Amino acid sequence: MYKSIRILIFSALAMPVTTGTAVVIGFYPHIAQAQTQGMERREDRRGTRQEAREDKRECNASGDSSRAGCRQEKRDVRQTGREDRTGTNPAENAITPPPR
């Protein structure tokens, strides 16, 4: 007897909780898919990498430069993307060891 009452009470409580969660996510989709700063930066890096790949492919296809030159162009594009994202040149902010 007590077991069946417990099951009824549990099922009566579980139903609104499960449907309530779906309703909350439906009304507030921005909460379910929050965009953090890290996610935005990751998207920026992906875009920069893709741009660098395309530039390298174009460079290799043109035949104007050596493979090493095309790799350097790719590095330059990626470095420019890093500088644009931080607003500074990372090489300038590098910690240099003290002189001996």
Mean residue pLDDT across the chain: 76
Ramachandran area for residue 87 (φ above 0: left; ψ -120 to 50: alpha; else beta):
left
Q: Which residue segment(s) compose the domain that 60 sits in? A: 45-85
DSSP for the chain, written as a single string? -HHHHHHHHHHHHHHHHHHHHHHHHHH-HHHHT---HHHHHHHHHHHHHHHHHHHHHHHHHH-SS-HHHHHHHHHHHHHHHHHHHHSS-TTTTPPPPPP-
Section 33-48 average pLDDT: 80
Task: For residue 29, tell me if it sits in a domain.
Answer: no
Task: For residue 40, tell me if it sits in a domain.
Answer: no
Measure the N-to-C terminal CA separation of the chain; round to a whole number of Å: 84
Task: For residue 18, tell me if it sits in a domain.
Answer: no
Q: Is the pLDDT of residue 32 over 60?
A: no
Task: For residue 71, tell me if it sits in a domain.
Answer: yes
What are the pLDDT digits (tens) for 57-80?
A: 998 899 888 888 889 988 998 888
Task: For residue 2, tell me if it sits in a domain.
Answer: no
Task: For residue 22, tell me if it sits in a domain.
Answer: no
% of the chain with per-residue pLDDT over 90: 7
Task: For residue 4, tell me if it sits in a domain.
Answer: no
The count of structural domains within the chain is 1
Task: For residue 57, tell me if it sits in a domain.
Answer: yes
The interaxial angle of helices 37-62 and 67-86, nearest 10 deg, is 160
* pLDDT score, position 63: 85
